[in-house]
Structure 1
Amino acid sequence: MPATPEHPTPKTQTPKTQTPKTQTPMTPTPVHPTPAVRLDRVGKQYPGAGGAHAVRDVELDIAPGEFFSLLGPSGCGKTTLLRMIGGFSDPTEGSILLDGQDVTGLPPDKRNVNTVFQSYALFDHLSLADNVAFGLKRKGVGRAEIRERVSGMLELVQLGHLANRKPGTLSGGQKQRVALARALVNRPQVLLLDEPLAALDLKLRRHMQVELKQIQREVGITFVFVTHDQDEALTMSDRLAVMNEGRVEQCGTPEDVYERPTSSFTASFMGTSNLVPGTYRSGRVVLDDGPELPVGQRPSVPEGSRVNLSIRPEKIWLSDLEPDMARATGVVRETVYCGPTTTYLIELAPGVTVSVLEQNTVRSRREDRWSGGERVEIGWKPEHCLVLD
């Protein structure tokens, strides 16, 4: 038995020329799987003097089997980044690795990825089965295997009974599923999706979000999903990266990014957030022409700094305020009824208005809801607000 603190080596077994030592068990080095996608300081600059940067210095690791979203407004670089992963555009800086292999200079057909585009790009003259089989035929896969894989994939997307139909007879959601099946049947290492749900109506889009996530879990393939829809990214993603002007503004789980934004841009882009400007002094944000608002965190900003106090509308209470809450009074300027919820716009000080979201189970009758011009007291828990530069 090796010497350990629990089992010291007996002195009679130790040669006189040796000094007994306590053996410290070595902690094994944790084994991290190779990222399915690694972006190493990737950048894209358009040619010409003073060419604009579409993407700047992006570093990301996307894990195998992860549903990862690139989220941001139009022109932020998310689609350009997706195209570079797929090989449709070359980076001017950095490198792209798939499963540890540098593919930066490889064309799309030499990368084990497939792409689902917003337009679906189906062949109208082919049946659904032939659309799905198209890539397998080009690869020279045997007929029996093609039949088996196509049949299985159409069943996965719940279109097996329509295998002989043409795309022109399908709904938008069915076309989206055919495009997904055609990409997945090739068993790519990574599937790239460029806003594939954008053309669908709201109700169908929400239904397809759930279906797409279920399919991704079943096949276990890494999905990299581009969207400008915050709700879509929050609903579907294991992790997401918020992009702004070509850079990654913040990366994390949906809960991290929504509940703990690290910048005013992320706070305002991810859903709705009240950004109240003021000056940070001794644990409070002092409004220019209004109250002093206590904050829960101890922000790493210098005393006297100009800051934004970020509070989500659903975190603000209009009734049953608790003793430990931060409080402020204001005037209701607008009441917006939205079915299950009502949004109140409340002016705290000249030029400073906050949005408050309240479930209509609290005030279900119209006469119980606040009206414009009424003075109200609002409150929130200090830990629910953030101080942002």
Structure 2
Amino acid sequence: MTTTAANATNAPGRPPAVRLDTVCKSYGSSYAVQDLSLDIAPGEFFSLLGPSGCGKTTSLRMIGGFTDPTEGTILLDGADVTALPPNKRDVNTVFQSYALFDHLSVRDNVAFGLKRKGVARTEIRERVATMLERVQLAELAERRPTTLSGGQRQRVALARALVNRPQVLLLDEPLAALDLKLRRQMQVELKQIQREIGITFVFVTHDQDEALTMSDRTAVLSEGHLQQCGTPEDVYERPANSFVASFMGTSNLVPGTYRSGGVVMDQGPELPVGPREGIAEDSRVSLAIRPEKIWLSDLAPGMARVNGVVRETVYSGPTTTYLIELAPGVTVSVLEQNTDRSRMEDRWSGGEHVEVGWFPEHCLVLE
């Protein structure tokens, strides 16, 4: 992964809101983050995504000044802040726990940072009132955090951070404690607030759907290394490697050997994929294809086709997932929308022989 691929598109003459230049963090001989270079544009909603232990929270803490990098440079709006403590950086952080003061009202929680900075009382009242309106908490201003729902507490934490008007807002999995329905609602609301205010958001999550839903761009990390950085469409539709393909949603990875425009499975037929630039003949590869790109019926001309056996059928309301065995030890997942009532009543059953197909341009060949 090159540094340039992780760069943001900034306004001419304006530096990135955040720049990480070959940043490393080690603990003894073990690296939590290694050679991480990123440019995050002003006003961008940027996500750090990856499994537990990949280095995303460590990266966020280094931006905020809570953790010192072992090597590399951190710049905010072009200024080197690598050695500055958190209170000297123009950033605020929303933690997963929210860290609200339960003995204070919602209004006083939001005003807390402004009071510590010595902002005039009149300005505090105006800014707090405006922010409570923006996060739809004006009617709850006198309530204590302990009387609020999880989503309301999350809004209080967000308002308390945003009222300080930071250059960058850091969010460390702030939606993780919410139930699924509320979490999805807050994803939309958080993105809307970010667009209205225009502050740069750096958002840490392990949830792929969350990153795809909310981000302008996403950096995918694994074991402290940057695997890919790009728009949600880039990382989902054009993963850089097998890790990204498998981590971003569900992807079928079929191992084999690349020969003359096809992938020959270890035990099974050749799967046509067309010529692929940069893939050497007879090299070991993985064929990556998303479940929603595979067809089980009404196959169209030009599709690659292969026979298989249905091994499992999983009904999930809007969709049905089929597990299709293409060859011994090779099973792919196929996702169909339940849009046709006749199709719903005539789902494929285990043991049935089927023909599956996909367009060659919808699959990736990964070395």
What is the TM-score when the length of structure 2 is the normalising length? Answer: 0.96
For 1:21, the equivalent position in structure 2 comes to: none
For 1:334, the equivalent position in structure 2 comes to: 312
SS at match of 1:84: helix
1:31: Cα distance to partner?
Answer: 2.5
Q: Does 1:84 align with 2:39?
A: no
> Which residue identity lines up with residue 124 of structure 1 in the other structure?
D
Counterpart CA distance in 1 for 2:274 and 2:205 is 33
For 2:365, the equivalent position in structure 1 comes to: 387
1:67-146, aligned counterparts within 5 Å?
67-146=45-124
Give the one of 295, 308, 321 matched to 1:343. 321
Counterpart CA distance in 1 for 2:257 and 2:275 is 15
SS at match of 1:345: strand
SS at match of 2:159: helix
SS at match of 2:244: helix
1:362: Cα distance to partner?
Answer: 3.9
For 1:272, the equivalent position in structure 2 comes to: 250
Counterpart CA distance in 2 for 1:300 and 1:244 is 24
Q: Does 1:247 align with 2:197?
A: no
Counterpart CA distance in 1 for 2:13 and 2:79 is 16
Equivalent pair of 1:43/1:91 in contact (CA under 8 Å): yes
Q: 1:110 and 1:339, CA in 2 relative to 1: closer, same or farther beyond 3 A?
A: same
1:225-253 Cα deviation digits (max 9, x unpaired):
00000000000000000000001100000
> Which residue identity lines up with residue 24 of structure 2 in the other structure?
G
Equivalent pair of 2:338/2:344 in contact (CA under 8 Å): no
SS at match of 1:59: strand
> Which residue identity lines up with residue 277 of structure 1 in the other structure?
P
For 1:20, the equivalent position in structure 2 comes to: none
1:365-380, aligned counterparts within 5 Å?
366-380=344-358
Counterpart CA distance in 2 for 1:215 and 1:364 is 43
Counterpart CA distance in 1 for 2:325 and 2:341 is 21
> Which residue identity lines up with residue 256 of structure 1 in the other structure?
D
For 1:36, the equivalent position in structure 2 comes to: 17
1:242-296 Cα deviation digits (max 9, x unpaired):
0000011000000010000010000000000000000000110001111101114
Give the one of 139, 157, 178 matched to 1:179. 157
Aligned Cα root-mean-square deviation (Å): 1.0
Q: 1:295 and 1:363, CA in 2 relative to 1: closer, same or farther beyond 3 A?
A: farther
Unmatched tracts of structure 1, length 5 or more: 1-29
For 2:7, the equivalent position in structure 1 comes to: none
For 1:15, the equivalent position in structure 2 comes to: none
1:360: Cα distance to partner?
Answer: 1.0
Equivalent pair of 2:260/2:275 in contact (CA under 8 Å): no
> Which residue identity lines up with residue 14 of structure 2 in the other structure?
P
SS at match of 1:372: coil
1:32: Cα distance to partner?
Answer: 4.5
1:254-269, aligned counterparts within 5 Å?
254-269=232-247
Counterpart CA distance in 2 for 1:287 and 1:179 is 52
Counterpart CA distance in 2 for 1:175 and 1:299 is 51
Equivalent pair of 1:297/1:383 in contact (CA under 8 Å): no
Equivalent pair of 1:296/1:384 in contact (CA under 8 Å): no
Counterpart CA distance in 1 for 2:233 and 2:343 is 33
> Which residue identity lines up with residue 162 of structure 1 in the other structure?
L
Give the one of 283, 286, 310 matched to 1:308. 286
Counterpart CA distance in 2 for 1:366 and 1:319 is 13
Equivalent pair of 2:22/2:71 in contact (CA under 8 Å): yes
For 1:206, the equivalent position in structure 2 comes to: 184
> Which residue identity lines up with residue 300 of structure 2 in the other structure?
E
Q: 1:32 and 1:381, CA in 2 relative to 1: closer, same or farther beyond 3 A?
A: farther
For 2:212, the equivalent position in structure 1 comes to: 234
Counterpart CA distance in 1 for 2:291 and 2:165 is 43
1:196-237 Cα deviation digits (max 9, x unpaired):
000000000000000000000000000000000000000000
Counterpart CA distance in 2 for 1:178 and 1:84 is 24
Counterpart CA distance in 1 for 2:297 and 2:39 is 44
1:105-145 Cα deviation digits (max 9, x unpaired):
00000000000000000000000000000000000000000
> Which residue identity lines up with residue 217 of structure 1 in the other structure?
R
1:364: Cα distance to partner?
Answer: 4.8
Equivalent pair of 1:296/1:385 in contact (CA under 8 Å): no
Q: 1:253 and 1:33, CA in 2 relative to 1: closer, same or farther beyond 3 A?
A: same
For 1:45, the equivalent position in structure 2 comes to: 26
Counterpart CA distance in 2 for 1:126 and 1:297 is 65
What is the TM-score when the length of structure 1 is the normalising length? Answer: 0.90
Q: 1:371 and 1:202, CA in 2 relative to 1: closer, same or farther beyond 3 A?
A: same
Give the one of 190, 193, 198 matched to 2:168. 190
